[in-house]
Structure 1
Amino acid sequence: MKKVLILFFILSFTSVYAQQKADSTRVVRLEEVVVSATRASADAPIAYSNLNEKEIKQENAARNIPFILQTLPSVVAYSEGGTAVGNTSFRIRGTDANRINITLNGMPMNNPESQEVYWVNLPDLSNSLQSMQVQRGVGTSTNGTASFGASISMQTLGGRAKPHGDLSVSYGHYNTRMLSAAVGTGIFKNGLSLDARFSHIKSDGYIRNGKVDHKNIYAALSHYSDKQLIRLIYMNGIQHTGITWEGVSPDMIEKNRRYNPAGEYIDDEGNTRYYDNETDNYYSNIGQLIYTRYLTTHLTLNANLSYNHGYGYYENYLPAYEQFFSSFGLPDQTVGGKAYDTSDLTLRKMMKNNFYVGGANVEYKTSRLGLTAGAMYSYYDGSHYGRILWVKHNENIPQGYQWNRNTADKKDINAYLKAEYRPLDALSLFAEVQERYIDYRMAGLDDDMADLSSNNYYNFINPKGGASFRFARHNEVYASFGISNREPLRADLKETGKPGAARSITSERLYDYELGYKYTNSIVAFSTNLYYMDYKDQLVQTGKLNDLGYKLQENVPDSYRMGMEFALAYTPTYWLRMDGTLTLSRNKIKNYTAYFDVFDNDVDWNLTGQDSKYYKSTDISFSPSGVASFSLAFKPIEGEDFSLSFINKYIGRMYYDNTSNPDNRLPSYWITDMAASYTLDAKKVGKFDFQLFINNIFGKKYSSNAWVYTARFEDGTPYVEKGLYPQAGANLMGRIRYRF
């Protein structure tokens, strides 16, 4: 930490005396080009929300991006450990995160196998961002995985003409603390600039073992000229997080909301103990090279390269009743003259991957016509393997015994053409088409010794079109239609490809219809959007997890999501602002058949078959019919930079399987957060920000996520396992920040 602070002040001191020369207008335009191909323009017939740097940071103290976005329309954020740090994720319109396309500076960030971004692996990324756009529905064509319910385009910081620095320290409940230090040289006369940031987040967590130890480094070297921008970016993330994915049973929540079964075992004296290193760990290194150039007055080139290397593992303790030696390809062990077919042991399951991406696009733009042609190629190679670290009853198993390994490589090629044409000043037409080809191959043994070898090929055509019309000065209406196709996840393919699987997995298709209206003036901004999302073979969550905490899915032939989204921003006076969003939706599966495992008894646990139950219509899991937010921001003292905000979020009740069983339903909840901020302007020295955050101010007891597994024994006795994820009650966080 001392080295970081010394570096911060050295760079701050030297940068103040550097000579800068920058055309700020030209810099801003070049920055916009970097992400323009993955974003909707102002006239695009798309439902979207934009966030600038101030909005991203104003209520952010040790919060992952899902919770920064939670006040946007149709967004539901949730966490495993009960707070906004650690393992967090979100859904948009009920769509899980593995269907949300995410790009950083135009480059894909979704893991090609899980098709999800794990924010825990990119600690404090939000403090390195200058803007974000969230598109709902199919949206515009983008790089990487399919945008099957939403897409998020993020852009990192850059382009500041003057030297700057930012140092903040936060501390709050559950021993949560964060240090963040950032500096930038500004743009020198030769066009060079350097920006760097370091952050460190630690927490004990709300749930037992919800500990967090995260570090992040961001550095960007940029060169600007009148016609081009070249930027080299490096990001390093190191995360150590306690395992919390098992959740808490409903019975245990009544006794101890902070209970976590991970790592629990009984020692030889009958005492309950916990394994100390029940952790998930990941090391990521991301490099990006961005090149943007004005070729002519109307023609712009944007070319990018990206490399993402990741290595990670989780380690946990498993009691004897959960594992047999035969599961690892091992013989029974004889120790002290006694034979054992099972034993307590500790495992480490590991993965390594490399993700290479190259992409380019050319934009042609006049006052009436905009054309964008782009293409991207990515190659992913990864391996998964497991090792046994320790065995209680060990005859001849070597330490670090590796019992399995499987590999995968995935090639993804896409090309797209977009066109926006304005035949009249008030009318804008939009059309695009994307072709995407995927070659995904797996080989080797899974952790249950099943052979995963398979070759999977997909070729998708994704067309989109729409129009927007402006009238009566402040009004706009728009309509659009789009088709998106998406391949299954690794977890889907590997589970259903094993012997005895109930059904196969195929790709899914979405037909998205959007109709919207916007009204905007200097005081009020209002928008409403109607959507109908018609799915063919949609992959929906079964409510069951595999042993890594992945949410298992299944195809359903016929399903839909339909709803209305409202957003309002109202600023009647300089000291008051009100923001609100509301989504009302209906999310249904037609003609659904649910399958339930049948076991012989609760001793041998031999799978003997499956039951099935037919539903003519049932609710899609994790899809609340009502989602709302309401925020009030006050500046009560004229002439003082003091603000007070109240942020409210409502999530309607939702099922966590697809049977509409009221026993498998999370109750609705309403939570309120408060943020108070005061800025002291020390003129030549810089500015000091003092902030206080109170999360869940009324101490609402609720769970934001859950899973369930339902089966029965041959004698008819039902068997149900559940895991709920309780969230923290009222908790505080304070932050002091210095910036110049």
Structure 2
Amino acid sequence: MRKVTQTLLTVVAIMFTTVLMAQSTITGTVIDADLNSPLPGANVVEKGTSNGVSTDFDGKFSLMTQATSGTIEVSYVGYGTITLAFNGSADLGNIMLSPDNSLGEIVITGVVDVAIDRKTPVAVSTIKASEISLKVGNQEFPEIMNNTPGVYVTKTSGGYGDSSVRLRGFDQRNTAFLINGQPVNDMENGWVYWSNWQGLSDVASGIQIQRGLGASRLAVPSVGGTVSIFTRSSQKDQGGSVSQIIGNDAYTKTTAAYNTGKNDKGWSSSYLLSKWSGDGYIDFTKGSGWTYFFAVGYAPEGSKHSFDFSFLGAGQWHHQRSSWVSIRDYQNFGDSGIDRRWNTNGGYLNGEEFNMRRNFYNKPLATFNWDWQISESVKLATSLYGSAGRGGGTGPRGQNFRNADIDLYPFNIDLTEHLTNRGRGAAARNADGSINFDYVVNHNRTTTLPYTGDLGRGDFQGLLIGSNGFRDDNVNREVLVRRASMNSHDWVGAISSLDIDAGNMRYSIGIDLRDYTGYHYRALNNLMGLDAYYSTGNQNNAGQIIETTIDADPFKKTGLKGAKIDYYNVGYVGWQGVNGLAEYSSDSNNFTAVLQGGLSNQSFQREDLFDSPTNPLSKKKNVGGGYVKGGANYNISDASNVFFNAGYISRQPNFDAVFPNFANDVNPDLQNEKITSVEVGYGLRLPSFSMNVNVYSTKWGNRFVSRGFTNSGGTSGTAQFKDINELHNGFELEANYKATSDLRINGMLSVGDWKYTKDFSSTLFDDTNTQIGTGTLYTKDAKIGNAAQFTSYLAVNYSLGDHFNFDLGWRNAGNLYADYSVTDSAFLDPNNNGAIKLPSYNLVDLGATYRFDLFGKDSYLRLNINNLFDEVYISESNTNIYADGSNPTWKGVDVRNSVWFGFGTTWNFTFKMNL
């Protein structure tokens, strides 16, 4: 961290000089006069100067000026311009803008790169804070993005926070997610674990989805796009709120928030605390968690400096459904018909819900922002951040598959075949198919003999000891215990950007520094009736007997300094990046052209404390990368505009590609991923109607992918794929129509053609990271799976007076294909039939809001009903078993296929009172 600070101070010392301090500060909030909602991105400019700012996602602005009096102009695309006088520092309160055909210049400030309508040449959709707070309820946070073009969000297996986002057919490893401009994709594998960020629904002040190359200057992996999530800062107005949400399956969430407001010395602070719990829609997926948020700001009147510190976290635990379920398992177990809630993992232990798969994590994020208005035309924005994530997920350990009574987890077959036809695991299953974990505990104890060996300590004599393979001295390997696979990390970073306005030109230069350490190991969580576990995973010793366990709880010790089993390795990833931007805007504001570029060095190093006794620490591997992208926007008239963008990205591979065999040897064939993209679009802005259309083409080559799969006995394995090439072409449309002052209609259409362009090879490893096989997948021209390539959405919003509001939305998903599977043989034949096309589906969501005054406070009640008509549909599949007439089908799909069904009808009800 010291090096980061020294670097920033050096940059500041070299690049900047001190100038006169501002003399006045003008603040206010820009409001849509018709909808009475904030206008983010509105332009506020000191008349006769280039000094200006844009409003944040709450419509708020703060403009510093050297003048003691004058006028400001407030404008927004498609709205009339208002001129207001000021005399000294002043709060202008709410500034109401009414729609018309006028144009206004938009000014971007700060580290965050906000795409501006009719200026920034990218395809973009914005979701406001009011929509997030009203519609998320008990849904997954990213599901709020599901109604924008190119986005496909599913709940995947259905555990709370286990959802997944795909943008233009790219999964979330290959879409950049930023929180207040800071990257949050995992530094090793690029994934985003939404269970770590569920608290964003409480603190988010807006989301901007920049599809394609995006506007971010950071050298981030924005292959599919860039999703910028903005959270609250320290609020300048005093107030607060309390809210209560209840929902299906015993869901409940209580939230309290308070803002002190800004005092005379420039200090302000905000606080939020939230607690949720629920049983889960899927069987045996109970969960609970806390969200905590704190922010303090310092912006004294007349100062050219402002500071803001925030601390955000969302510690949680939840049970999961990790084993894919075949269609016939949904039919054969649980309730009659397709039981979408069915979960093969769960059951009861001592009368309480118990699940072999339990996720637990706490990832607090601390951020310090410093804005320095060096002069009217020069600004420095700097952000320092740090995170210390702790937690992981539990799963089975032990060779229980060797004993038919407790052989609970199928391998390469479904539960119907495993349980009914092969007779395995029936003794430990209840009549309803749930697992009797009390039976497992008793079986572990009654089939294990007292330990007779001597591992250097006599007090192990007579203990009941299990293992995953060792079987001497009465150690029993035919047992089942619950281990915890830990993925903790320490992450610090710094982002700094210098912006210079020079007439028609705007220049920017920035740095992006990151340092990441990831800790990967296994620990014991539940011995399931045994006294100890015999571990032979550490090659530095002959074996170790472990009696200690850790709690699967995000707020307790996670075993980082305790006893470990199976594996223990550490990944070190560094990042040093520079980026630059040059933007030209014509005097008439009808033409904008921008060129951006960035260079980065990513360093990789792996330390193995268990499996590489002769080479515990790898050499450090430095890999360079970079990007160049540019585009232009031309406003044909006050109503129409066209834009284009194009770019090339040379992106460093993920950590697993650098060390592909789970060893400390650097991949000799390492290569960067190559991405090229081009896009053109058109926009139309009329008083009552707006529309955006765009077409794109993205080529992606040299991909390396690592995926997990279920191995024998329910343990995990990993498959690695290399030299994957893809082509993503598509068309997108988004439109909004204001039919009357009370009725609004909006919709979108997204059509994609996403496919693999070559065959690729794979290597399989078991859960000890030992190679167990290789092969070739013949995927050329196969459709890319698990992301609907045709989606459409239509919604109506109707206001009934000042108090009632109703909204109804319909979404269609089609051209949805199954993903290629690690253990499925479908693509092993060169003459395969390609990916299975899954049935299309339609979902209808209903919402109603009632606003009222309670004890003199603004309050509202909100009801959401999702999947109103209880549509039964497949959201994803990871097998490609074609129907051949030999087995039953469901909507034309062979019932042996493993799929995730989407949720049925769910609901949530919210009460909120603003204080």
Per-residue CA shift, 1:319-342, capped at 9, x if unaligned?
63459999978632443xxx7444
Distance in 2 between residues matched to 1:550 and 1:182, nearest whole Å: 44
TM-score (norm 1): 0.85
Residue from 95, 118, 128 that aligns with 2:170: 95
1:415-454 correspondence to structure 2 within 5 Å: 415-423=578-586, 425=588, 426-444=590-608, 454=618
Describe the SS at the equivalent of 1:196: strand
Describe the SS at the equivalent of 1:472: coil
**Contact 2:695–2:732 (Cα < 8 Å) also in 1:** yes
Distance in 2 between residues matched to 1:608 and 1:106, nearest whole Å: 42
Provide the residue aligned with 2:564 in structure 1: 402
How far apart are 1:445 and its partner, in Å?
Answer: 5.8
1:120-269 correspondence to structure 2 within 5 Å: 120-143=195-218, 145-158=220-233, 160-225=235-300, 226=302, 227-255=304-332, 256=334, 257-263=340-346
Per-residue CA shift, 1:37-71, capped at 9, x if unaligned?
43333311111112232232231213332111111
Provide the residue aligned with 2:696 in structure 1: 531
Provide the residue aligned with 1:488 in structure 2: 653
**Contact 1:408–1:441 (Cα < 8 Å) also in 2:** yes
**Contact 1:505–1:555 (Cα < 8 Å) also in 2:** no
Amino acid at match of 2:901: P
Distance in 2 between residues matched to 1:469 and 1:550, nearest whole Å: 52
Describe the SS at the equivalent of 1:459: strand
**Contact 2:509–2:579 (Cα < 8 Å) also in 1:** yes
Name whichever of 281-290 and 98-107 sits farther off: 98-107
Provide the residue aligned with 1:563 in structure 2: 730
Distance in 1 between residues matched to 2:285 and 2:862, nearest whole Å: 25
Provide the residue aligned with 1:642 in structure 2: 804
Distance in 2 between residues matched to 1:327 and 1:116, nearest whole Å: 34
Provide the residue aligned with 1:301 in structure 2: 380
The answer on 1:414 being equivalent to 2:414 is no
Higher relative contact order, structure no. (Cα contacts within 8 Å, ≥ 6 residues apart):
1
User: Structure 1 residues 182 and 281 mapped into 2: Cα distance closer, same or farther (>3 Å)?
Assistant: same
How far apart are 1:162 and its partner, in Å?
Answer: 2.4
Provide the residue aligned with 2:839 in structure 1: 667
Distance in 2 between residues matched to 1:596 and 1:374, nearest whole Å: 40
Distance in 2 between residues matched to 1:596 and 1:496, nearest whole Å: 9
1:462-477 correspondence to structure 2 within 5 Å: 462-477=627-642
The answer on 1:55 being equivalent to 2:131 is yes
User: Structure 1 residues 566 and 214 mapped into 2: Cα distance closer, same or farther (>3 Å)?
Assistant: same
Name whichever of 643-652 and 461-470 sits farther off: 643-652
Describe the SS at the equivalent of 1:352: strand
User: Structure 1 residues 344 and 434 mapped into 2: Cα distance closer, same or farther (>3 Å)?
Assistant: same
Provide the residue aligned with 1:574 in structure 2: 741
Name whichever of 472-481 and 391-400 sits farther off: 391-400
User: Structure 1 residues 210 and 450 mapped into 2: Cα distance closer, same or farther (>3 Å)?
Assistant: farther
Count of paired positions: 694
User: Structure 1 residues 557 and 104 mapped into 2: Cα distance closer, same or farther (>3 Å)?
Assistant: closer
The answer on 1:694 being equivalent to 2:865 is yes
**Contact 2:126–2:209 (Cα < 8 Å) also in 1:** yes
**Contact 2:396–2:715 (Cα < 8 Å) also in 1:** no
Per-residue CA shift, 1:675-711, capped at 9, x if unaligned?
10010035x721110111111100011232333499x
Distance in 2 between residues matched to 1:537 and 1:351, nearest whole Å: 27
Provide the residue aligned with 1:377 in structure 2: 513
User: Structure 1 residues 384 and 709 mapped into 2: Cα distance closer, same or farther (>3 Å)?
Assistant: farther
Distance in 1 between residues matched to 2:646 and 2:717, nearest whole Å: 32
The answer on 1:651 being equivalent to 2:651 is no
Distance in 2 between residues matched to 1:450 and 1:279, nearest whole Å: 35
How far apart are 1:36 and its partner, in Å?
Answer: 5.0
Per-residue CA shift, 1:614-633, capped at 9, x if unaligned?
45422123343202222111
**Contact 2:158–2:320 (Cα < 8 Å) also in 1:** no
How far apart are 1:409 and its partner, in Å?
Answer: 1.0
The answer on 1:291 being equivalent to 2:370 is yes
The answer on 1:331 being equivalent to 2:407 is no
User: Structure 1 residues 691 and 273 mapped into 2: Cα distance closer, same or farther (>3 Å)?
Assistant: closer
Distance in 1 between residues matched to 2:357 and 2:778, nearest whole Å: 40
Distance in 2 between residues matched to 1:273 and 1:726, nearest whole Å: 26
How far apart are 1:446 and its partner, in Å?
Answer: 7.6
**Contact 2:520–2:570 (Cα < 8 Å) also in 1:** yes
Amino acid at match of 2:820: D
Distance in 2 between residues matched to 1:254 and 1:169, nearest whole Å: 36
Unmatched tracts of structure 2, length 5 or more: 1-24, 30-52, 54-59, 65-106, 335-339, 404-447, 449-464, 535-544, 549-562, 822-826, 882-894
Residue from 14, 25, 28 that aligns with 1:24: 28
The answer on 1:619 being equivalent to 2:783 is yes
**Contact 1:421–1:430 (Cα < 8 Å) also in 2:** yes
How far apart are 1:422 and its partner, in Å?
Answer: 1.9
Amino acid at match of 1:172: G
How far apart are 1:82 and its partner, in Å?
Answer: 3.5
How far apart are 1:433 and its partner, in Å?
Answer: 0.7
Identity of aligned residues (%): 20
1:308-327 correspondence to structure 2 within 5 Å: 308-318=387-397, 320-322=399-401
Describe the SS at the equivalent of 1:617: coil
Per-residue CA shift, 1:161-194, capped at 9, x if unaligned?
4212111101111111111111112222221111
How far apart are 1:197 and its partner, in Å?
Answer: 0.7
User: Structure 1 residues 731 and 408 mapped into 2: Cα distance closer, same or farther (>3 Å)?
Assistant: same
Provide the residue aligned with 2:359 in structure 1: 280
Provide the residue aligned with 1:583 in structure 2: 750
Distance in 2 between residues matched to 1:648 and 1:88, nearest whole Å: 21
Higher percent of residues as strand: 1
User: Structure 1 residues 598 and 362 mapped into 2: Cα distance closer, same or farther (>3 Å)?
Assistant: closer
How far apart are 1:260 and its partner, in Å?
Answer: 1.5
How far apart are 1:314 and its partner, in Å?
Answer: 2.0
Name whichever of 111-120 and 450-459 sits farther off: 450-459
Provide the residue aligned with 1:14 in structure 2: none
Describe the SS at the equivalent of 1:162: coil
How far apart are 1:593 and its partner, in Å?
Answer: 4.2
Unmatched tracts of structure 1, length 5 or more: 1-20, 600-605, 711-719
How far apart are 1:448 and its partner, in Å?
Answer: 12
How far apart are 1:357 and its partner, in Å?
Answer: 0.5
Amino acid at match of 2:547: Q
User: Structure 1 residues 273 and 167 mapped into 2: Cα distance closer, same or farther (>3 Å)?
Assistant: closer
Amino acid at match of 1:208: D
**Contact 2:600–2:625 (Cα < 8 Å) also in 1:** yes
**Contact 1:146–1:485 (Cα < 8 Å) also in 2:** no
Provide the residue aligned with 2:908 in structure 1: 733
Distance in 1 between residues matched to 2:570 and 2:129, nearest whole Å: 40
**Contact 2:395–2:715 (Cα < 8 Å) also in 1:** no
**Contact 1:598–1:610 (Cα < 8 Å) also in 2:** no
Per-residue CA shift, 1:384-408, capped at 9, x if unaligned?
1112342767686321352221011
Distance in 1 between residues matched to 2:703 and 2:533, nearest whole Å: 49
Distance in 1 between residues matched to 2:466 and 2:659, nearest whole Å: 17
Amino acid at match of 1:473: D
1:544-559 correspondence to structure 2 within 5 Å: 544=709, 554-559=721-726
Describe the SS at the equivalent of 1:648: strand
Describe the SS at the equivalent of 1:55: helix
How far apart are 1:469 and its partner, in Å?
Answer: 0.6
Q: CA RMSD in A?
A: 3.7
| Greater radius of gyration (CA) | 2
